[in-house]
Structure 1
């Protein structure tokens, strides 16, 4: 691992930038805890661990994810004074998009540490084949916004009330920087006439919306494979479907643990026609938000299945007194964007050239719906 001690010819006094070592996980977590306690602009409350904290070696073994640290040199013992996490997408279509999060100790602010961390991360990302860097930042964090602007990140939209901090809602800006794949074509923006575009309404029998059960594993596996083979509008491709019935059973069992996640099925005459997954934020500052993933078999498009699933999502969110329901949709999926807008979702941000599908890049559009829950 090569230490980076200069940025643009300027020496970063007394600090070297390198990738974190798995054996220093505890020291790194102590640094994260200190920085979280010093600032309320970050994702976590003091005492909450980052998701990669349980197994740093496994996180880095993904091949498109790592942690960089800023370490003092010339002093004994050496100290960690800043870090940057780089988390690549989990699936084939979004592996080239890397999400960044940075933190620097207060006593080292203003000394070029964050700039050096970003330079190291960008060099690493280019080597790994990433084409996009992205991050979120509180709209009130003017200092960070200025830094990211200087580093070449562009404002891609405002995500309303994304965090709850000190009893108040806080909105965040999505910022992105394109670093590769300049010659890869894009999917066209599909905006055909909604009447011509829609298939004839399907005639369906009895429609039931109910929670998925582990006993549904075999039917759910067949559904998952079928729905992913019918369209390229889902993030996981057909090749990334659940591998077998046992995996499907484990997945469905996990959805029934606690009250913070659920998978609902739309069942028509005994056949799974669609599914809805819901999950709440992993940290205290995002616990007011639920994420949504929805899919419907092609044979049941324009039959009301999607609308019934959205209605069930509304009930689930309101029952838990949540404030925000959010989702992501591919930019060239015009029908889905119109569908969600019809059901009260607003487009908030556009992650440019985010996902690679069949040799073309497409935007990833963030949409959200707010509810009346107080902070």
Structure 2
């Protein structure tokens, strides 16, 4: 699915929110690798589960054609600085739900970009009749959990010792969901 491009001013920067394009594939592959190396809050370790530009082209094409898929990017001064994907579950019994993920370059944390990306995803989900948007987040990422809660996500579960990081420490994963309001 494709959304209308928006230019957003937030906390001293102006950036663009738009649908991903095939021409973004190289930049997305580099961006994802960089973000994976900047934080332990994501599922992958640095260099693990790499997606190539070809992989991103396939994902973008699928997401543009499927009404239950959304792939958005955040761009600042012609540079991709973050992205988000939301994908409706394909099985009939779970088709009212979609999985959501987001990542932003660390130097752009705190500018409100995540809140805008999430808002765009939730607006799209509501308009697409997706009743529930779900995500998982490492419990140590307290600022992300607070952000998700502020836009209507609720804690639904906790996976104990779900992640084991390279230093041998275990981390819990919080499962969160946001139901579409009925009014």
TM-score bucket (shorter structure): 0.7 to 0.9
Larger Rg: 1
TM-score when scaled to structure 2? 0.87
| Aligned mates of 2:157, 2:176 — CA distance in 1 | 7
| Aligned mates of 1:335, 1:313 — CA distance in 2 | 19
Partner of 1:274: 82
DSSP 3-state at the match of 2:98: strand
Conserved? CA contact 2:70–2:121, under 8 Å: no
**4+ runs deviating over 6 angstroms:** none
| Aligned mates of 2:179, 2:53 — CA distance in 1 | 37
Higher relative contact order (CA 8 A, sep 6+): 2
| Aligned mates of 2:140, 2:27 — CA distance in 1 | 30
The alignment status of 1:296 with 2:137, answered yes or no, reads: no
Conserved? CA contact 2:21–2:60, under 8 Å: yes
Conserved? CA contact 2:15–2:74, under 8 Å: yes
Conserved? CA contact 2:69–2:88, under 8 Å: yes
Shift of 1:371: 0.9
Listed as ranges, the gaps of 5+ residues in structure 2 are 1-9
Question: CA distance change for structure 1 residues 243 and 265 in 2, over 3 Å: closer, same or farther?
Answer: closer
Question: CA distance change for structure 1 residues 287 and 229 in 2, over 3 Å: closer, same or farther?
Answer: same
Listed as ranges, the gaps of 5+ residues in structure 1 are 1-200
Shift of 1:237: 2.3
Shift of 1:314: 1.3
Between the two proteins, the alignment pairs up a number of residues equal to: 173
DSSP 3-state at the match of 2:64: coil
1:364 to 170, 173, 181: 173
Partner of 2:7: none
Q: Superposition RMSD on alpha carbons, in Å?
A: 1.8
Partner of 2:149: 341
